[in-house]
Amino acid sequence: MKDRNRNRTPKQYPRLTHPLVRGADGELHRATWEEALDAAARGFAATTDAHGPDAFGMFSCARSTNEMNYVAQKFARVVIGTNNVDSCNRTCHAPSVAGLSAVFGSGGGTSSYAEVEETDLIVMWGSNARFAHPIFFQHVLKGIRGGARMFAVDPRRTGTAEWADRWLGLDVGTDIPLAHAVAREIIHAGLANTAFVERATSGYEEYAAAVEPWTLAAAEQVTGVPAEAIRELAHAYATAERAQLCWTLGITEHHNATDNVRALINLALLTGHVGRHGSGLQPLRGQNNVQGGGDMGAIPNRLPGFQDILQPAVRERFETAWDAVIQPRYGLNLTEMLDGIERGTLKAVYCIGENPAQSEADNEHTVQRLRALDHLVVQDIFLTKTALLADVVLPASAAWCETEGTTTNSERRVQRVRKAVRPPGEARDDIDILCDLARRLGHDWKYGQAQEVWDELRAVSPDHAGMTYARLEEHQGIQWPCPSEDRLEPTYLHGRLWEADPERRGMRAAFGPVLHSPPVDLLDDDYPLRLTTGRRLDSYNTGVQSSGFASPLRRGENIELSPEDAAAYGVAHGEEVRVTSRRGSVTAPVWIDAGLRPGLAFMTLHFPDEVDTNQLTIEATCPIAGTAEYKAAAVRIDKLADRQAVPSWT
Amino acid sequence: MTSVPLGLPRRRVEFELDGETVHVLEGDTILDACTAAGKDIPTLCYGDTLTPKNACRVCVVEVEGARTLAPACSRRAEPGMKVRTGSERARHSRRLVLELLASSTDLSTTPHVAGWIEEYGAEPARFGPDAATVAGRGAKVDNDLYVREYGKCIMCYKCVDACGDQWQNTFAIAVAGRGFDTTIAVEHDGPLPDSACVYCGNCIEVCPTGALSFRSEYEMRAAGTWDEDAQTETTTICAYCGVGCNLTLHVQDNRIVKVGSPHDNPITRGNLCIKGRFGYQHVQNVQGTE
């Protein structure tokens, strides 16, 4: 029996080939570039004239180049005069950046992929890299084949866990109790690296007191992981010569995500597994330039080169370089900007290559907010759900193959992006569009080539100063920091923590005595199942890109259940069921996955046009980083009375 | 406590290559030395990202004092060794290997092989029209992403190694059958969509004969529109996750027709996942005519 409403091929998005402007009839109509740019600029000017620069918000693009992100944040700061600029890093790894920069003063992962092959122990925590970061996982596999042990910490027994020596299947949102129990065991077994702790860290006493209640037995109660497995992880991590601690969104998509990140960093500080070849912390990032977007200052609290806006000397340098005044305070992040729309303080948004109407948690709410804007300009390669809400739609080039520039990956490697094809129709380069808008708003910007932008960035960012395009070509990318054109720095960060001279050792790395806070969306009799979300191998985010190719692996959206729960609810593989949370309700076919434990359900966010999972997710956000708790919703499933079972592949 | 060895610095090895003294690092092969010296040794089963399999024997060279010819791709250079790459014995052996391969398989899409056949004077036709061959085997077209033409397969095992423990660790393909009927196959020789295949295409990347190819290449060849001289190759960064894989886009008439990755790249070493290898289509989905 076939369900006619469900199609195996997800919605495909054709490229945008000409600008669109919303007419008096309320519809989007084809327009010339002149008309569209005039309308876009007019709306921005009207908003800022009436409400000031902070009524403007820029959503920059984590899949565009560093050069475009640099120009976009400069547009917000110089042309408009606001620090309200952010990107979808907010929905994924902003907590990693916040946690790492709070401890080490730098927001990047501390190791390199190659070091995973030369380490003794790999911990994959809240990361299904086998599916989400497959080529990173090949480095992990090289490490395993070279003799390294691997522990997988994940509520699901994933494709990553299949390669682990041990899988620690914790309950969703109990990462801090597990990390604290590991720490307590390390301390009580006398395995802490006391020399490192004394010389290079601060706040140990408070931290030791915070983890003290988390005995192995207490942690087993809360996390569901056997005490003996926690003990084994603790001893393996503490006694390994070199160890890599890697995490993904299982750590960061929580309402207390920055605390989760701090809990993991604490373990590295306790054992000295940071700042050495083969020992370090690796957050695996989700978009090809989400690292670079932040590095370029397309975030509300940092200027290019990840330099703090609150430091007068930093601001002064940029004010001189840009001949502009920079507001001496942090701007709003993406989450706060969306709140600002609702409060009526943010009136205009320039959204480049982002799709918040589908990517934000509790997305119906987000759509309402975007509708409330006075002026929304969307610059994208597709007519996304967000673009359909816009006043002006500007067709852009696909950064990765239709423009020149650079991107920065998870190991801080800046690499060249090169133009291989011409964009379709009238689509134009992002930077050219930004410059045309800037000119209409009184700033005569001209960048002949991406390299001009890059050289301007190199002049203001010490971490990028030594990376000429020629050197990037020569070395197949260079990792930051790269302050000099004459040499390359070590592939790992924070080697300074091991210096004998306290002067050179620099700022101590602070332990974070964080506390456990369970998921906000509580389980009860009405919503007894814990729904978590993640990626599949062949699909990506809201599916706008990955729906474009015909993957033989694709099976559309499912509600994945454990065999035990499927039996308890009396639902069969392929049966369409209703999934309901406190915020919304969708229907999806059941997929039975033996890798799930009873009580745990799984969905992806890849097919929002067919099954809108983000109607279920909760907008509880991390107060420090603003990331929503996509990983933990409470749901129930109900049988559909009048429907027959349909195979989920139809 | 575990301890993964990091290895020691390598010594230099001096030996004689075609009468000239050369230096390589300990552990390097004769082929490495030949490449460094600018000598063109034919190879088929050798892969720069794989452990040598010694299957095809087309790279054999003569090592003075050795009873048999040595495959340059796997034989390590040793101090004092005297190697001749172009001796009559080595050339005769290569000629025979090329005759056997070219008479029993379809080498029409194997790069360089026509030149080697001419250079070594190989005559594949000399075994007559009845020579056993797999060239007539039909193409397996069972999914939208890539095609398997085992009539072009020389059984070099590179795809099996790339899919298996050397890179992908998916183990979707293996050697099946015995003797002349030996083939590369997924489990039960079924269609790819019923197998463990994850469509990373890392088998295509290493295939030396074009037996494995992009569906786009296969269809363009069938239509007579595949034109490598009209193609550009541009290396850029993948549009998906944050690992930062390098993609080499093969573009013909402003359309991406094939995707590879540089074998010497520190991130990918020639490998990609399904999204990087095949997920480019979204940029060229344009409604109507352009």
- Domain residue extents for chain A: 20-87+288-479, 94-284, 529-639
Q: Given pLDDT bands bounded at 50, 70 and 90, which one contains residue A158?
A: very high
Tokens standing for A212? Answer: 């003290």
E strands in B18-118:
20-25, 60-63, 70-71, 82-84
Does A643 have pLDDT greater than 60?
Answer: no
pLDDT at A6: 47
CA distance B140 to chain A (A): 15
- Alpha-carbon separation of residue A439 from A390, A429, A434, A447, A457 (angstroms): 22, 16, 9, 12, 20
Nearest C-alpha in B relative to A137:
B168
Q: Which residue has the higher pLDDT, A306 or B290?
A: A306
In the chain, the amino acid numbered B184 is I
| Domain B11-133 part of CATH 3.10.20.740 | yes
Distance separating alpha carbons of residues A169 and A280, to the nearest angstrom: 23
A546 → closest Cβ in B198, B242, B275? B275
Does A557 have pLDDT greater than 90?
Answer: yes
Q: Given pLDDT bands bounded at 50, 70 and 90, which one contains residue A141?
A: very high
A-chain CB neighbours of B8 within 8 Å are none
A-chain CB neighbours of B245 within 8 Å are 135
Distance separating alpha carbons of residues A508 and A197, to the nearest angstrom: 10
pLDDT digits (tens, 9 = 90+) for A372-388: 999 999 999 999 999 99
**SS3 label, residue A273:** coil
A-chain CB neighbours of B241 within 8 Å are 132-133, 284-288, 540
- Return the closest-CA partner of residue A240 out of A118, A103, A109: A118
Q: Following CA atoms B284, B287, B289, B290 in sequence, which dihedral angle do they give, to the nearest 10 degrees? A: -50
Distance separating alpha carbons of residues B280 and B263, to the nearest angstrom: 20
Nearest C-alpha in B relative to A421:
B254
Mutate to test the interface with A, among B236, B252, B287 (most CBs of A within 10 A): B236
In the chain, the amino acid numbered A377 is V
Q: Running DSSP on this structure, what letter comes out for residue A396?
A: B
Residues of chain B with pLDDT under 70: 1-6, 288-290
CA distance B110 to chain A (A): 26
A-chain CB neighbours of B252 within 8 Å are none
pLDDT at A10: 65
Q: Taking the domain A20-87+288-479, which CATH number applies?
A: 3.40.50.740
What is the rounded average pLDDT for all residues in chain A?
93
A-chain CB neighbours of B287 within 8 Å are 14-15, 17
Predicted-assembly ipTM surpassing the 0.90 threshold: yes
A-chain CB neighbours of B278 within 8 Å are 549, 551
Beta-carbon separation of B279 and A424 below 8 A: no
Directed axis angle between helix A175-188 and helix A216-223, to 10°? 170
Beta-carbon separation of B6 and A12 below 8 A: no
Does A94 have pLDDT greater than 90?
Answer: no
Is B128 in CB contact (< 8 Å) with chain A? no
pLDDT at B5: 67
| Domain A529-639 part of CATH 1.10.260.40 | no
Q: Running DSSP on this structure, what letter comes out for residue A442?
A: T
pLDDT at A287: 86
* Continuous segment of H or E residues that includes residue A589: strand A585-592
CATH class (in words) of the domain with range B139-284: alpha beta
| Domain A94-284 part of CATH 3.40.228.10 | yes
B198 → closest Cβ in A241, A417, A537? A537
Alpha helices in B81-189 (DSSP H): 88-104, 113-119, 158-163
* Domain residue spans of chain B: 11-133, 139-284
Share of chain A residues as helix, strand and coil, in percent rounded to the nearest 5: 40, 15, 45
Count of A-B CB contacts under 8 Å: 212
Does A85 have pLDDT greater than 60?
Answer: yes
pLDDT digits (tens, 9 = 90+) for B80-103: 999 999 999 999 999 999 999 999
Does A31 have pLDDT greater than 50?
Answer: yes
Is B231 in CB contact (< 8 Å) with chain A? no
Same fold, A20-87+288-479 and A529-639: no
Beta-carbon separation of A415 and B246 below 8 A: yes
- Peptide bond before A462: cis, by omega within 30 degrees of 0? no
CA distance B11 to chain A (A): 21
Give Cβ neighbours of residue A26 (< 8 Å, ≥ 6 apart): none
In this structure, the number of other CB atoms found within 10 A of the CB of residue A506 comes to: 15
Write phi, then psi, for A413 (nearest 5 degrees): -90, 120
Q: Given pLDDT bands bounded at 50, 70 and 90, which one contains residue A627?
A: confident
Distance separating alpha carbons of residues A627 and A629, to the nearest angstrom: 7
pLDDT at A363: 79
* Continuous segment of H or E residues that includes residue A144: helix A134-145
Does A144 have pLDDT greater than 90?
Answer: yes
What is the rounded average pLDDT for all residues in chain B?
94
Does A542 have pLDDT greater than 90?
Answer: no
Is B129 in CB contact (< 8 Å) with chain A? no
Furthest-apart CA atoms within chain A: distance in Å: 74
Nearest C-alpha in A relative to B279:
A549
**SS3 label, residue A340:** helix
pLDDT at A539: 87
Q: Which residue has the higher pLDDT, B223 or A365?
A: B223
Does A166 have pLDDT greater than 60?
Answer: yes
- Return the closest-CA partner of residue A599 out of A561, A638, A637, A629: A561
Tokens standing for B226? Answer: 């595949």
Tell the residue number behind the tokens 């806006």, with chain if given.
Answer: A309
pLDDT at A3: 41
